[in-house]
Each structure stands twice: as C-alpha cells, then as structure tokens.
Amino acid sequence: MKKTIILAAALSVFSITATFAQTEAPAKPEKKERTERKGERPNPMADLNLTEEQGQKMKALNEEGRAKMEAVRNDASLNDDQKKAKMMELRKAQNEKRMAILTPEQKKKWDDKMKEGRAKPEKRD
C-alpha cells in the first residue's frame, strides 16, 4: 500500500513537471515580419510617376474605396454571394475612377503592368 502511494506521488510529480516543461506555442509573427519574409509586394503605382495632385486624388480614392468595402463586409443583411457581387461592383467603379485620374501614358503603363501581373502570378505561401 505504501509503495502504491509513493509510486502515485512520484508519477504525479513527474507528470506535473513534464506539463510545465512543455514549450509555449510559437507566437504568430508580427505583420511586418510576415511581409519581410514573403517580400514586399510591389506598388503598381510607383512606376506611374504620379504628380502630387494625382497622388492626393489616388489616396482619397483608395480611402473612399476602403471605407465602402468595409461597409459591405460588415453589412449583415447581405449574404456571401451578394457581398461578392457588391465588392466586384465597387472594384470596377474604383478602377474606372482611377483611370480617369491617369494620363494616357500612365494608363498604358498601368495596363501593361496589370497584364504582366496576370501573366505570371506570384507564388503564395
């Protein structure tokens, strides 16, 4: 009986220490670390040589589009298919507004860049 109690006590001590000795799960890397690991995504607007005015208009357009898309994502009255359709509509409208800001040369550069991106999509992790 005494041996059983001592054995049970020893087993519980070893199991408790083994539990505490387990390493913590690795923390999810910070967003910055993830982008560094994957490599920065190139900014397609960088090669367009936008004027300061165009840059401000693009920034405002992007902020407006981001807000509208966030509103669609948070709209509980829409199902997934409706949200997807609405997002496509918003992207199309935003692209049309973006093209209205660009000069013909910049539009050509943009179209070439988009074709190049579609031709060889980046590998995703």
DSSP one-letter string for 23-72 = PPPPPPPPHHHHHHHH-PPP-TTGGG---HHHHHHHHHHHHHHHHHHHHH
Cα distance between residue 114 and residue 69, in whole Å:
22
Write the pLDDT tens digit of every residue in 44-63. Answer: 677 778 889 988 998 999 99
Question: In the Cβ-directed half-sphere of 12, how many Cα atoms lie within 13 Å?
Answer: 6
| All domains in the chain, ordered by first residue | 44-118 (1.20.120)
- For 56, the token pair is 């401000």
Q: What is the pLDDT of residue 86?
A: 93
Full-model pTM: 0.56
